[in-house]
């Protein structure tokens, strides 16, 4: 066989190479130069991200276990950008808290490993590859969640994550085994042809769906989310809420839209019910959160509920709107987490009422935060509005007006708690506000990129058009 | 193919195994035993794969391979879980579930 | 850059300029310059409109259409007719007056003016866009700054009011969104592509079943912002807590979006739905008119009095719109304009009184006519305008509404008209009550005997608003004819 | 022949108003006084010129006075309905021009003395000019809407002038009352206009009044509750008129309006504005007469008669001389209404119409005179109350004489002006409606009585001891008195019937001697009674008062009308309507919105237990969710 076909896996290989390179440097780099590992990692990953933009032609290898196309490739790029921003934002934290304990490299290695897992997951061609990708993407995160070994809640978060994840993967494996039983194959293409709606296949679908719903943190599979976000280091929380959720959404979309298309009349109702539950539960819990990380956790749950509006119609339009929304969501949520990260790193404060009077001391940060929150709430002219509006259009295009109505009601509820944060930052005056501080270069870079994304993605239409075309070859 | 034992009995067994695992997960007080219950769940599906492969689609070995991979991953999972539990034990010298409820609501 | 997009770009440029200003002095100068430019543009637009209309008899003139999201057939598409021209003029004037009134805004001046101008961008955009999507976008852009404006610079229970206002308005816009989607997905009822373009949808006859479902959504979505009973409760608290300039913009301009939207979208695109539901909403509007007037009768806080009077006056606007005939629609638009100028001026005056006496309770005030004659006299004049005295703007509008509404054969419309007409008495009562207690009588409080005199910028703000009130009242012909003419195609579409 | 120059008549006062109003602070008082008077003088001259031209230089075409209209569009409603602004010249409008000009000019001159030491001097003249402008506009109106516009404007200027002493709470209250009561009546007017406009398709007086016009001929084509819609419109319009002219039950504002400065009372609440109601009915007289056989006209007649009697009775017992005059005004207005009500249309039939206009004319003169006289008295003794007056004839002779003349005129003593007009009214009443005739006669007697009651009370009776002795008013005040006295004497000799008549043709009116004799006799009785009671200080009056007892009390309390109104407004409208609505708004409407929000927050509080923090509960939820979904989608919701 000719090895050129391996070029389809260029991204994976490159990432793996970077990871190994980092391990080697870890071995050979002198103790006093350790801090430079961060710069190196970010630099390398930056290169990787840029290289990612070169096109990769469509194709399958390993007998269809691994397959990629423009959409998948584009999505990998989205993940890359997300991770890059995230690394930029957490660079300072790594420098100050991790590297000095001489544990910088593991962080990158684990994170890149998990990213690699997601690559495999989203370009999986059969359930085995999918399962391996899933696990590879989950386990390192569990390790990272428990990364601050001195903190108790960190370990708690790790345990909760790993146990729930194990349960989820167990359940979803059980489901996969049932699908296997009904179809006699674990290859997506074969399954699509033969699968029919028998009780067993439906049960399999639901069990399997639960496994992914766990990663997207849909109700009622979401309970781990808030606790893990709160306990884990912020960069991990934001990684969970953005990257891993995004990847899971993407693969779930692919599976439902293509592989399990024949069961659509089942899963559209499933999605319908879960979407409503998720939006309401997420919003209602977010209403009363004090800790910013928990707050963002529940807000991200609610957002997942909105994403399902694009799922429910199961066609190109739906796919386009979902991917578009996820893209915007990546930027918005990273911006929010970035601000939280910066403030918590500077002052260790993570509660909403610590933010009171923030605007008067740190106007720039609070403006970024406000943009991010407005984008999450879906206020024009920032990108989030367009993302949501298009999701609603998608749902309405198949006549799900009731669902859209429930969704907009939830938008209003969500606006309430987003405004609570805005209130704290802008309206309130505090007697001991967070003092003014200047961000380091990396953090500033990370925030600027997100802000640009938030502002541009909505108003600049070609991006959506491009995504829409890509969604054609789902 | 085991003589005299149809696939249904085995599937029933695995289902029972699965739910034993679930039951254990929900009721055990000790993190380690919860971990063990998770293993039961995984094993249930492992057996599933093998049996389905053997009884229904004997001409290809997808199920079998899948089960091998599952076992491997499960091992990794357990190792990671154990290590985190140990780390927790270092801090609070306990592996009780009730002690990891500080974050709630 | 076409003449209309300037209304978006000039404010944006103003904002960019504001970003680089330091302190109150620069900020207010910059925003004043911006405001003046906008006003000039608006006045110029009126003349340009007449010139254009002479040669071009399209429904909308100065149209411009740029494809934005082609998969959804979303365009950035703008254009004006007489109605929007008039309302743009209103906006420009009120914004400039608002800048003058907040001349001494010491707390975070830059941010204040920026949010103010963002709001105005939303309003301008709303009035010029003929694409439902952009319309909606601008609608929300106009609403959101209110939260900051009230929350940061407001008085009293500002956080509560701001949150209430924002949530109720955004909730309304959420309902509206569903309605708009409904229209959009039925805009291909007789073949052709889905479209957001109002003019194109108007050519389509959307099936009655659909109209029946979506008209209420669209109507309520818009009507909430013009304080339709029983969704008006955001407005009294909002007004009461808002800083002066914001109350002005809010009551003067923002609440007009509702009427305009109802007229432009609900009535024009869903006429059958309108006919089907009009009875119900007419009842609500009539209740609103009477109810608002009586509620105003009992208030003691000046701002509440005006808030409720706004409920009553805008109820009149909705009522007139629901009457579905040219004269009353003309009245509705005129009422929007006149109410815009009036209430803006009212709130400006209240702000001045408050800034001098630190109270808005009419029972604490008294005999102001003696101590601050200029402000008080203007207050009386505006009061007379708002109770519909001939020679001032209110009369012109109300007469159009009444005469128009009375042209209906059906007894139901007649009776509701007469009920509404009777509101003019109650209006007179609460206006004169307030004036009598607050301005006349002996001076209650010794401290008020030497209040600061009215300053030049206050005078400018006042005159800016007073001149249109008198102008409309004395010579309404050109304005009402301009609007009537533009209403022609719409009324034809409806009937 | 062209009368378009008459547009100047209203415009000059308007210009004066704007001038004085805008440069209020800049102009020094004396100057503003001159400006006002001069402006009025020019208007007056123009009006007299117009009258001369109209009546004498011929605008008659074969014996009928023509109507001249000059108008321009002000606003378009529909293709047919629109508001015009313009001037309409016909006998009554010209007559009114004269009345307004004369009285207003006199009052302007008078005010220069009366208001001399008042700090709001300029403002006062500005308001006077505003009022005069509006009144001219009302008189010259060409259509219902124009008249309504100026109707409102005179209303507001009256509001401003009544509330002129705005630091006095009573004045403020009175002004408010006047405006709101008339506003309430105007509501009827407006609805009437709407109905009229809808059914006749026009607001134009010419079109409406044309006896052969469609408006009048087709009245029967529409009906509502047993009457023609047009009739309803007329009745509603008459309600508007009743409001301005203080007919029952809208009269309550007029007495309180006396809070205003006396010249104002003279100008607005005696001579000009209050007759607007009569003018309105006269303006639409053909409609009133022809539509539904004058059904509406009868209502006018009875309302007029009752009001006039009612007011006369109250006037007897009042002690504030201005209020006495106010009620006498109301009574006289009732007289005019009554006379319109009993009028026919063409030729001598229309004597009631003519008489009413005639009485309007003469009454304007002598009632203005009475008020100005009263004003100069008040000016002298600084009180409105009879008890503070007496024996003033020695101190202020001119006032005394002029007041006497006016009193005789209103009492209908020959040869004073009032005699002639009143006589014609009684003739008309006698010919058309006996009952109303007797009411008229009775009122004539009462009038004479209460007039001379206050006359004697002021100028005779026993001397009071004044802290500073009252002295005759300055010339600027006495001059108008003399002029008006002269007019009150000669005014009656104008051959009015040849100028003004319902059919505009004019006719020759003859004195009806028996009726005249009766009227004079009654009048004399009244005067003599007053003489007996009040000439010398004695307790006869009190005796009689006690004799009447409750009746006296009722009359003294104006039959408790104010109390009733107060009850309705304060108790019903404020307490029973406005307050509940305000409460409802706060609690129910707002409460619901609040409730939605609070419930949401509460719900989030309730369900927080789900997030227990136990990983096992999470697992349970996980598995539970899976099981439930499985059951639902396998057994319940299989839509294939």
Q: Is the peptide bond before D415 cis (omega within 30 degrees of 0)?
A: yes
Instruction: Specify the 3-state DSSP secondary structure of D28.
Output: coil
- The domain spans of chain A are 3-472
Mean pLDDT of A444-455: 94
Residue C172 lies in a domain: yes
Judged by average pLDDT, the poorest of A292-301, B21-30, D413-422 is D413-422
Closest CB to A224 among D601, D618, D629: D618
Q: How far is residue D340's CA from residue D282's CA, in Å, rounded to a whole number?
A: 7
Question: In whole angstroms, how far apart are CA D35 and each of C231, D27, D434, D467?
Answer: 54, 10, 51, 36
Q: Do C171 and A412 touch (CB under 8 A)?
A: yes
Q: How far is residue C385's CA from residue C341's CA, in Å, rounded to a whole number?
A: 10
pLDDT of res. D62: 77
Nearest C-alpha neighbor of D328 from the set D496, D435, D176, D453: D453
Q: Residue A226: list chain D partners with CB under 8 A.
A: 611
Q: Residue A184: list chain B partners with CB under 8 A.
A: 56-57
Q: How far is residue C366's CA from residue C380's CA, in Å, rounded to a whole number?
A: 14
Query: Which residues, listed in sequence order, are joined to residue D88 by a DSSP beta bridge?
Result: D69
Q: How far is residue D173's CA from residue D169's CA, in Å, rounded to a whole number?
A: 6
pLDDT of res. C175: 92
Both D80 and D186 in one domain: the answer is yes
Q: Are C304 and C240 in contact (CB under 8 A)?
A: yes
Which of A201, A210, A223, A302 is the best substitution to test chain D (most D C-beta atoms within 10 A)?
Answer: A223
Instruction: Specify the 3-state DSSP secondary structure of D227.
Output: strand
Q: How far is residue A10's CA from residue A13's CA, in Å, rounded to a whole number?
A: 5
Q: How far is residue A310's CA from residue C219's CA, in Å, rounded to a whole number?
A: 27
Nearest C-alpha neighbor of A252 from the set A191, A312, A162: A312
Nearest residue in chain B measured CA to CA from D608: B105
pLDDT in tens, C28-71: 999 999 999 999 999 999 999 988 888 888 888 888 899 998 88
pLDDT in tens, A63-97: 888 989 899 999 999 999 999 999 999 999 988 88
Nearest residue in chain A measured CA to CA from C74: A461
Q: Are A412 and C224 in contact (CB under 8 A)?
A: no
Closest CB to D629 among A206, A224, A226: A206
pLDDT of res. D639: 56
Q: Are C52 and C61 in contact (CB under 8 A)?
A: yes
Q: How far is residue A340's CA from residue A334's CA, in Å, rounded to a whole number?
A: 10
Contacts of D346 (CB under 8 A, 6+ apart): D502, D503, D505
- Between A5 and B52, whose confidence is greater? B52
Contacts of A286 (CB under 8 A, 6+ apart): A295, A298, A299, A301, A302, A414, A417
Is C174 at the interface with chain A, CB within 8 A? yes
Closest CB to A128 among B44, B60, B66: B66
Instruction: Specify the 3-state DSSP secondary structure of A35.
Output: coil
Share of chain D above pLDDT 90, in %: 25
Nearest C-alpha neighbor of D162 from the set D258, D276, D33, D273: D258
Q: How far is residue D118's CA from residue D125's CA, in Å, rounded to a whole number?
A: 11
Q: Are C174 and A412 in contact (CB under 8 A)?
A: yes
Q: How far is residue B33's CA from residue D483's CA, in Å, rounded to a whole number?
A: 120
Q: Between chain C and chain B, are at least 3 CB pairs below 8 A? A: no
Q: How far is residue C177's CA from residue C186's CA, in Å, rounded to a whole number?
A: 14
pLDDT in tens, D458-500: 888 777 777 677 788 888 888 889 999 998 888 888 888 888 8
Could you say which DSSP state residue D204 is in? Answer: B
Q: Residue B52: list chain A partners with CB under 8 A.
A: 177, 180-181
pLDDT in tens, D26-74: 888 888 888 989 999 999 999 999 999 888 886 677 778 888 888 899 9
> What value, to the nearest 5°, has the Cα angle with vertex D579 and ends D574 and D585?
145
The residue range of the domain holding D583 is 564-636
Tokens for D347, please give them: 């030729």
Counting the structural domains of chain C, the total is: 1
Q: Which H or E run includes A67?
A: strand A66-68
Q: Are D146 and D137 in contact (CB under 8 A)?
A: yes
Q: Residue C432: list chain D partners with CB under 8 A.
A: 159, 176, 179-180
Which of A113, A166, A171, A210 is the best substitution to test chain B (most B C-beta atoms within 10 A)?
Answer: A166
Instruction: Specify the 3-state DSSP secondary structure of A187.
Output: strand
Q: How far is residue A73's CA from residue C390's CA, in Å, rounded to a whole number?
A: 71
pLDDT confidence tier of residue D514, bands split at 50, 70 and 90: confident
Is D5 at the interface with chain B, CB within 8 A? no
The residue range of the domain holding C396 is 6-494
pLDDT in tens, D252-283: 888 888 888 888 888 888 888 899 999 999 99
Q: Which DSSP string do the residues of B13-72 spell out, in sequence order? A: HHHHHHHHHHHHHHH-SBHHHHHHHHHHHHHHHHHHHHHHHHHT-TT--HHHHHHHHHHH
Question: Subunits with at least 3 CB pairs below 8 A relative to chain D?
Answer: A, B, C
Q: Are C339 and C314 in contact (CB under 8 A)?
A: yes
Tokens for D160, please give them: 């401003």
pLDDT in tens, D307-338: 999 999 888 888 888 889 999 999 999 989 99
pLDDT of res. A400: 92
Q: Are A220 and D621 in contact (CB under 8 A)?
A: yes
Contacts of C210 (CB under 8 A, 6+ apart): C182, C186, C189
Q: Please identify, among D505, D522, D556, the residue that sits at the C-terminal boundary of a domain.
A: D556
β-strands D68-76, C74-80 pairing: unpaired
Max Cα distance, chain B (Å): 54
Residue given tokens 């921003």 in the structure block: A85
Q: Which residues of B touch A (CB under 8 A)?
A: 18, 21, 25, 31, 34-35, 38, 41-42, 44-45, 48-49, 52-53, 56-57, 60, 62-63, 65-66, 69-70, 73, 76-77, 80-81, 84-85, 87-88, 90-92, 100, 102-104
Query: Which residues, listed in sequence order, are joined to residue D61 by a DSSP beta bridge?
Result: D64
User: How big is the A-B interface in CB pairs under 8 Å?
Assistant: 119
Alpha-carbon dihedral of residues C315, C318, C319, C322, nearest 10 degrees?
-160
pLDDT of res. D347: 77
Q: Is the dihedral of CA D144, D150, D152, D155 positive or negative?
A: negative
Phi-psi region of D116 (alpha: psi -120 to 50; beta: other; left: phi over 0): alpha
Q: Which H or E run includes A68?
A: strand A66-68
Is A171 at the interface with chain B, CB within 8 A? yes
Tokens for D381, please give them: 């003794």
Residue C1 lies in a domain: no
pLDDT in tens, C269-322: 998 899 899 899 999 999 999 989 988 888 889 999 999 999 999 999 999 999
Both D569 and D540 in one domain: the answer is no
Q: How far is residue D360's CA from residue C149's CA, in Å, rounded to a whole number?
A: 61
Q: Do B56 and A227 touch (CB under 8 A)?
A: no
Q: Do A177 and B102 touch (CB under 8 A)?
A: no
Taking all residues of chain D, what is their mean pLDDT, rounded to a whole number? 87
Per-residue confidence of chain C (495 residues) as pLDDT tens digits? 688 889 999 999 999 999 998 888 899 999 999 999 999 999 999 999 988 888 888 888 888 899 998 888 999 999 998 899 999 999 999 999 999 998 888 888 999 999 999 999 999 999 999 999 999 999 999 999 999 999 999 888 889 999 999 999 999 999 999 999 999 999 888 878 889 999 888 888 889 999 999 999 999 999 999 888 888 889 888 998 899 899 999 999 999 999 999 989 998 899 889 989 989 999 999 999 998 998 888 888 999 999 999 999 999 999 999 988 888 999 999 999 999 999 999 999 999 999 888 888 888 888 888 888 889 999 999 999 998 899 899 999 999 999 999 888 888 888 899 999 999 999 999 999 898 888 888 888 788 788 888 889 999 999 999 999 999 999 898 888 888 888 888 887 776
Kindly report the number of other CB atoms within 10 A of residue D624's CB atom. 13
Nearest residue in chain A measured CA to CA from C154: A427
pLDDT of res. C224: 92
Q: How far is residue D101's CA from residue D116's CA, in Å, rounded to a whole number?
A: 22
Q: Which DSSP string do the residues of D339-374 spell out, in sequence order? A: HHHT--SSGGGGHHHHHHHHHHHHHHHHHHHHHHHH
Nearest residue in chain C measured CA to CA from D583: C295
What architecture is the B7-100 domain classified under in CATH? Orthogonal Bundle (1.10)
Question: Subunits with at least 3 CB pairs below 8 A relative to chain B?
Answer: A, D
Q: Are C468 and C318 in contact (CB under 8 A)?
A: no
Nearest C-alpha neighbor of A363 from the set C111, D259, C137: C111
Is D598 at the interface with chain B, CB within 8 A? no
Q: How far is residue A71's CA from residue A55's CA, in Å, rounded to a whole number?
A: 11
Question: In whole angstroms, how far apart are CA D478 and each of D111, D385, D399, D483?
Answer: 11, 21, 7, 9
Both D618 and D495 in one domain: the answer is no
Burial of C428 (0-12, 13-18, 19+ CB in 10 A): buried
Q: Please identify, among D529, D556, D583, the residue that sits at the C-terminal boundary of a domain.
A: D556
Helices C302-322 and C411-421, packing angle to 10 deg: 160
pLDDT in tens, B40-88: 999 999 999 999 999 999 888 889 999 999 999 999 999 999 999 999 9
Q: How far is residue D379's CA from residue B98's CA, in Å, rounded to a whole number?
A: 97
Both D568 and D539 in one domain: the answer is no
Long-range contact pairs involving D345-350 (C-beta distance under 8 Å, separation at least 24): D345/D211, D345/D285, D345/D286, D345/D289, D345/D290, D345/D502, D345/D503, D346/D502, D346/D503, D346/D505, D347/D503, D347/D505, D347/D507, D348/D507, D348/D509, D349/D502, D350/D501, D350/D502, D350/D503, D350/D507
pLDDT confidence tier of residue D432, bands split at 50, 70 and 90: confident
Both D600 and D542 in one domain: the answer is no
pLDDT in tens, A14-58: 999 999 999 999 888 888 888 888 999 999 999 999 999 988 888
Q: Residue D159: list chain C partners with CB under 8 A.
A: 432
Contacts of C27 (CB under 8 A, 6+ apart): C18, C21, C109, C110, C112, C113
Tokens for A69, please give them: 């196309």
Closest CB to C181 among A393, A415, A419: A393
Nearest C-alpha neighbor of D593 from the set C224, C261, A282, A302: C224
pLDDT of res. C491: 80
**Chain B closest-CA separation from residue D589 CA (Å):** 33
**Chain D closest-CA separation from residue B64 CA (Å):** 26
Contacts of A372 (CB under 8 A, 6+ apart): A332, A333, A335, A336, A339, A450, A454
């Amino acid at each position: 066989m000719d090895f050129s076909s391996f070029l389809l896996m260029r991204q994976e290989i490159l990432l793996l190479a970077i990871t190994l390179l980092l391990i080697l440097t870890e071995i050979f780099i002198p103790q006093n130069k350790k801090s430079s590992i961060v710069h190196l990692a970010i630099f390398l990953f930056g290169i990787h991200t840029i290289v990612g933009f070169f096109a990769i032609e469509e194709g399958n290898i390993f007998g269809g276990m691994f397959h990629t196309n423009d959409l998948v490739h584009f999505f990998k790029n989205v993940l890359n950008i997300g991770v890059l921003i995230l690394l930029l934002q957490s660079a300072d934290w790594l420098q100050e808290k991790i590297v000095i304990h001489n544990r910088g490299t593991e962080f990158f290695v684990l994170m890149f490993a998990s990213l690699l897992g997601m690559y495999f997951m989203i370009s999986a061609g059969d359930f085995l590859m999918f399962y391996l990708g899933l696990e590879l993407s989950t386990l390192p995160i569990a390790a990272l969640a428990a990364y601050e070994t001195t903190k108790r809640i960190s370990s708690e978060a790790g345990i909760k994550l790993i146990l729930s994840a194990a349960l989820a993967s167990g359940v979803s494996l059980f489901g996969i085994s049932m699908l296997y039983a009904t179809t006699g194959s674990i290859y997506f293409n074969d399954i699509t042809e033969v699968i029919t709606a028998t009780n067993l296949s439906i049960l399999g679908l639901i069990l399997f769906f639960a496994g992914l719903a766990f990663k997207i943190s849909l109700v009622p599979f979401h309970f781990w989310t808030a606790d893990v976000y709160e306990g884990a280091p912020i960069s991990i929380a934001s990684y969970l809420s953005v990257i891993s959720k995004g990847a899971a959404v993407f693969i779930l979309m692919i599976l439902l839209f293509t592989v399990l298309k024949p069961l659509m009349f089942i899963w559209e109702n499933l999605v319908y019910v879960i979407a409503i539950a998720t939006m309401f539960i997420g919003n209602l819990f977010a209403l009363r959160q004090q800790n910013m990380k928990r707050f963002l956790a529940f807000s991200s749950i609610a957002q997942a509920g909105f994403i399902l509006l694009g799922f429910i119609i199961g066609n190109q339009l739906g796919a386009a709107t979902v991917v578009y929304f996820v893209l915007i969501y990546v930027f918005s949520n990273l911006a929010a987490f970035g601000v939280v990260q910066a403030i918590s790193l500077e002052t260790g404060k993570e509660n909403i009422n610590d933010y009171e009077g923030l605007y008067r001391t740190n106007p720039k940060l609070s403006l970024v935060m406000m943009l991010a929150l407005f984008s999450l709430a879906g206020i024009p002219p920032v990108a989030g509005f367009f993302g949501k509006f298009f999701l609603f259009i998608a749902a309405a295009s198949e006549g799900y007006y009731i669902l859209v109505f429930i969704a907009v009601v939830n938008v209003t509820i969500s606006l309430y708690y987003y405004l609570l944060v805005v209130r704290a930052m802008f309206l309130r005056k505090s007697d001991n506000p967070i003092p003014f501080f200047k961000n380091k270069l990396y953090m500033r870079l990370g925030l600027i990129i997100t802000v640009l994304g938030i502002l541009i993605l909505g108003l600049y239409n070609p991006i959506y058009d491009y995504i829409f075309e890509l969604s054609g070859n789902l | 193919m085991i003589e005299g034992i149809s696939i249904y009995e085995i599937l029933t067994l695995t289902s029972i195994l699965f739910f034993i695992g679930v039951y254990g997960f929900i009721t055990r007080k000790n993190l380690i035993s919860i971990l063990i219950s998770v293993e039961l769940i995984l094993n249930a599906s492992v057996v599933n794969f093998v049996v389905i492969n053997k009884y229904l689609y004997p001409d290809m070995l997808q199920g079998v391979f899948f089960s091998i991979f599952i076992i491997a991953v499960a091992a990794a999972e357990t190792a990671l879980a154990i290590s985190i539990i140990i780390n927790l034990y270092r801090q609070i010298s306990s592996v009780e579930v009730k002690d990891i409820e500080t974050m709630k609501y | 850059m076409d003449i209309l997009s300037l209304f978006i770009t000039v404010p944006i440029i103003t904002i960019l300029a504001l970003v680089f200003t330091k302190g109150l002095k620069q900020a207010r100068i910059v925003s004043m310059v911006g405001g003046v430019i906008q006003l000039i543009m608006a006045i110029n637009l009126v003349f340009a409109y007449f010139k254009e209309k002479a040669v071009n008899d399209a429904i909308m003139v100065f149209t411009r259409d740029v494809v934005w999201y082609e998969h959804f057939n979303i365009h950035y598409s703008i254009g004006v007719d007489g109605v929007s021209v008039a309302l743009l003029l209103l906006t420009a004037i009120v914004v400039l007056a608002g800048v003058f009134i907040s001349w001494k805004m010491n707390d975070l001046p830059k941010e204040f003016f920026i949010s103010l101008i963002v709001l105005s961008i939303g309003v301008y955009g709303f009035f010029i866009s003929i694409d439902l999507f952009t319309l909606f976008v601008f609608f929300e852009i106009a609403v959101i700054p209110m939260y900051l404006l009230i929350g940061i610079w407001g008085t009293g229970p500002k956080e509560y009011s701001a949150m209430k206002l924002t949530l109720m308005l955004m909730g309304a816009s959420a309902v509206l969104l569903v309605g708009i989607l409904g229209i959009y997905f039925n805009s291909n009822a007789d073949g052709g592509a889905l479209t957001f373009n109002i003019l194109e949808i108007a050519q389509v006859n959307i099936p009655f079943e659909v109209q029946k479902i979506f008209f209420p959504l669209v109507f309520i979505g818009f009507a909430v912002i013009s304080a339709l009973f029983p969704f008006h409760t955001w407005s009294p608290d909002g007004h009461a807590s808002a800083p002066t300039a914001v109350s002005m913009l809010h009551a003067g301009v923002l609440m007009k979006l509702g009427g305009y939207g109802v007229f432009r979208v609900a009535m024009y695109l869903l006429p059958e739905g309108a006919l089907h539901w009009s009875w119900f909403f007419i009842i609500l509007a009539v209740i609103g008119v009477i109810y608002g007037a009586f509620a105003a009768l009992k208030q003691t806080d000046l701002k509440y009095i005006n808030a409720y009077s706004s409920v009553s006056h805008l109820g009149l606007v909705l009522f007139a719109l629901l009457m579905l005939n040219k004269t009353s629609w003309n009245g509705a638009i005129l009422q929007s304009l006149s109410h815009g100028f009036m209430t803006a001026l009212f709130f400006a005056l209240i702000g001045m009184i408050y800034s001098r006496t630190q109270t808005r309770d009419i029972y604490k005030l008294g005999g102001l006519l003696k101590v601050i004659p200029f402000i008080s006299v203007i207050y009386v004049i505006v009061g007379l305008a708002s109770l519909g005295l001939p020679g001032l703007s209110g009369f012109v509008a109300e007469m159009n509404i009444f005469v128009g509404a009375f042209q209906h054969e059906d007894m139901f419309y007649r009776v509701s008209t007469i009920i509404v007409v009777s509101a003019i008495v109650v209006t007179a009562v609460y206006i004169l009550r307030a004036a009598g207690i607050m301005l006349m009588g002996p001076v209650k409080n010794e401290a008020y005997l030497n209040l600061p005199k009215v300053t030049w910028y206050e005078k400018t703000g006042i005159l800016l608003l007073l001149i249109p009130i008198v102008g409309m009242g004395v010579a309404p012909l050109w304005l009402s004819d301009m609007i009537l003419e533009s209403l022609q195609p719409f009324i034809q579409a409806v009937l | 022949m062209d009368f378009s120059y008459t547009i100047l008549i209203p415009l000059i006062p308007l210009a004066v108003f704007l001038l004085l109003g805008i440069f209020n602070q800049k102009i020094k008082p004396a100057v503003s006084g001159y400006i006002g008077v001069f402006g009025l003088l020019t208007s007056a001259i123009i009006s007299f010129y117009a009258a001369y031209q109209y009546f004498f230089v011929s605008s008659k075409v074969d014996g009928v006075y023509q109507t001249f209209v000059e108008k321009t569009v002000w606003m378009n409603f529909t293709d047919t309905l629109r508001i015009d602004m313009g001037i309409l010249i016909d006998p009554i409008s010209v007559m009114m021009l004269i009345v307004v000009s004369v009285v207003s000019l006199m009052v302007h001159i008078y005010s220069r003395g009366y208001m001399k030491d008042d700090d709001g001097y300029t403002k006062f003249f500005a308001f006077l000019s505003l009022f005069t402008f509006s009144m001219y506009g009302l008189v010259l109106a060409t259509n219902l809407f124009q008249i309504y516009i100026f109707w409102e404007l005179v209303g507001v200027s009256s509001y401003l002038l009544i509330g002129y002493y705005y630091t006095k709470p009573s004045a403020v209250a009175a002004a408010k009352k006047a405006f709101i009561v008339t506003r309430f009546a105007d509501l009827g007017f407006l609805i009437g206009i709407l109905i009229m406009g809808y059914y006749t398709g026009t607001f134009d007086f010419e079109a409406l009044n044309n006896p052969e016009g469609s408006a009048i001929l087709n009245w029967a084509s529409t009906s509502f509750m047993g009457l023609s819609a047009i009739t309803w419109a007329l009745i509603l319009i008459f309600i508007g008129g009743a409001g301005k002219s203080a007919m029952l039950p809208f009269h309550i504002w007029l007495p309180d309006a006396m809070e205003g400065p006396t010249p104002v009372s003279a100008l607005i609440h005696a001579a000009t504005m209050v007759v607007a109601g009569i003018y309105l009915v006269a303006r639409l007289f053909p409609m009133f007469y022809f539509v539904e056989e004058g059904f509406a006209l009868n209502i006018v007649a009875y309302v007029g008669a009752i009001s006039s009697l009612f007011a006369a009775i109250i006037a007897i017992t009042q002690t504030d001389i201005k209020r006495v005059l106010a009620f006498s005004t109301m009574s006289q207005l009732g007289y005019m209404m009554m006379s319109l009500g009993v009028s026919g249309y063409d030729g001598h039939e229309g004597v009631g119409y003519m008489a009413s206009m005639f009485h309007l004319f003469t009454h304007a003169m002598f009632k203005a005179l009475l008020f100005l006289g009263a004003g100069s008295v008040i000016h002298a003794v600084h009180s409105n109350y009879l008890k503070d007056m007496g024996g003033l004839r020695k101190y202020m002779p001119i006032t005394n004489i002029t007041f006497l003349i006016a009193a005789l005129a209103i009492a209908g003593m020959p040869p004073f002006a009032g005699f002639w007009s009143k006589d014609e009214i009684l003739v008309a009443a006698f010919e058309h409606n006996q009952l109303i005739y007797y009411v008229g006669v009775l009122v004539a007697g009462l009038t004479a009585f209460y007039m001379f009651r206050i006359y004697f009370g002021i100028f005779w009776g026993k001397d009071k001891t004044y802290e500073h002795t009252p002295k005759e008013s300055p010339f600027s005040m006495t001059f108008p008195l003399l002029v008006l006295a002269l007019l009150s004497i000669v005014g009656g000799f104008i051959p009015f019937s040849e100028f003004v008549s319902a059919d505009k043709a004019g006719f020759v009116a003859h004195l009806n001697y028996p009726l005249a004799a009766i009227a004079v006799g009654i009048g004399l009785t009244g005067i003599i009674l007053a003489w007996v009671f009040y000439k010398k200080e004695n307790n006869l009056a009190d005796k009689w008062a006690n004799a009447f007892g409750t009746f006296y009390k009722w009359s003294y309390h104006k039959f408790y009308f104010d109390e009733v109104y107060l009850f309705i407004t304060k108790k019903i409208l404020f307490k029973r309507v406005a307050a509940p609505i305000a409460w409802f708004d706060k609690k129910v409407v707002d409460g619901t919105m609040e409730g939605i929000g609070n419930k949401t927050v509460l719900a989030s509080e309730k369900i927080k237990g789900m997030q227990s923090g136990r990983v096992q509960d999470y697992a349970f939820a996980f598995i539970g969710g899976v099981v439930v979904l499985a059951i639902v989608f396998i057994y319940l919701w299989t839509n294939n």
